């Protein structure tokens, strides 16, 4: 994949779970530097609607034709609302990169799912994100991906990690999501 420095990326993060409906924010970024647009939708806390709502948010956006990659912060949003990255790729034709600062604790996730309806389906969707690859260096991280080759996925993460240890589209989506819901942004994506 040819990766321009100014590749357009949509980073999506969720906000604090203070209600049953949880705001998600899409930060439409130009490479690792410039915010060019903001999207907002709502998903259900511990629900099963995150994948469909993200697909709809992306496809209905005026930025849709410009976006080259979708970047996610893990594959469960708003608690354990699972995101099917293969379905997102199928329905949008856009590659998806899942960024995680640490390797997910699958034992803990499986235990948490016991308390939720449709636990097998949730578990299956989480597994569908595929192999976890580790990025080494001063700033270790993990990624999963779909619709893109491994080298390109790593390259995009490194290209956009300009101001912290998190890719800018996710860092900024997080600041917006927490700031808007709590009145002031906090923490890290």
* Position 179 contacts a second copy (CB under 8 A): yes
| Closest C-alpha among 18, 21, 25 to residue 10 | 25
Residues contacting 139, CB < 8 A, separation 6+: 161, 165
Smallest distance, Å, CB 152 to a second copy? 25
Name the segment binding a second copy (CB under 8 A); options: 69-77, 107-115, 141-149, 173-181: 173-181
Q: Which of residues 113-172 bind a second copy (CB under 8 A)?
A: 163, 172
* Position 19 contacts a second copy (CB under 8 A): no
| Closest C-alpha among 151, 70, 174, 132 to residue 185 | 174
Smallest distance, Å, CB 160 to a second copy? 13
Smallest distance, Å, CB 115 to a second copy? 31
For residues 95 and 89, the answer to whether their CB atoms sit within 8 Å is yes
Name the segment binding a second copy (CB under 8 A); options: 80-88, 110-118, 149-157, 178-186: 178-186
The span from the CA of 91 to the CA of 126, in Å, is 18
Binding track, positions 50-89, relative to a second copy; x by CB under 8 A: -----------xx---------------------------
Residues contacting 32, CB < 8 A, separation 6+: 159, 160, 161, 162, 163, 167, 168
Q: Which of residues 23-42 bind a second copy (CB under 8 A)?
A: 23, 25, 33-41
φ, ψ for residue 117 (rounded to 5)?
-65, 160
- Which residues of this chain interact with a second copy, rule CB under 8 A? 23, 25, 33-41, 61-62, 163, 172, 175-176, 178-185
């Amino acid at each position: 994949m040819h990766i321009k420095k100014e590749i357009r990326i949509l980073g999506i993060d969720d906000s604090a779970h203070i209600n049953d409906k949880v705001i998600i924010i899409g930060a439409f970024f130009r490479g690792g530097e410039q915010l060019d647009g903001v999207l907002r939708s709502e998903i259900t806390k511990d629900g099963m609607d995150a994948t469909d709502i993200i697909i709809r948010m992306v496809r209905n956006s005026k930025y849709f034709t410009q976006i080259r990659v979708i970047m996610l912060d893990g594959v469960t949003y708003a608690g354990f609302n699972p995101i099917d990255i293969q379905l997102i790729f199928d329905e949008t034709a856009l590659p998806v990169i899942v960024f995680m600062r640490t390797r997910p604790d699958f034992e803990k996730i499986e235990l948490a799912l016991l308390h939720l309806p449709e636990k097998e389906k949730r578990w299956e969707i989480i597994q569908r994100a595929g192999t976890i690859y580790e990025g080494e260096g001063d700033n270790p991280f993990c990624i999963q991906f779909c619709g893109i080759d491994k080298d390109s996925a790593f390259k995009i993460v490194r290209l956009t990690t300009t101001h912290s240890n998190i890719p800018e589209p996710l860092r900024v989506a997080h600041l917006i999501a927490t700031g808007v819901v709590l009145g002031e942004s906090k923490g890290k994506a």
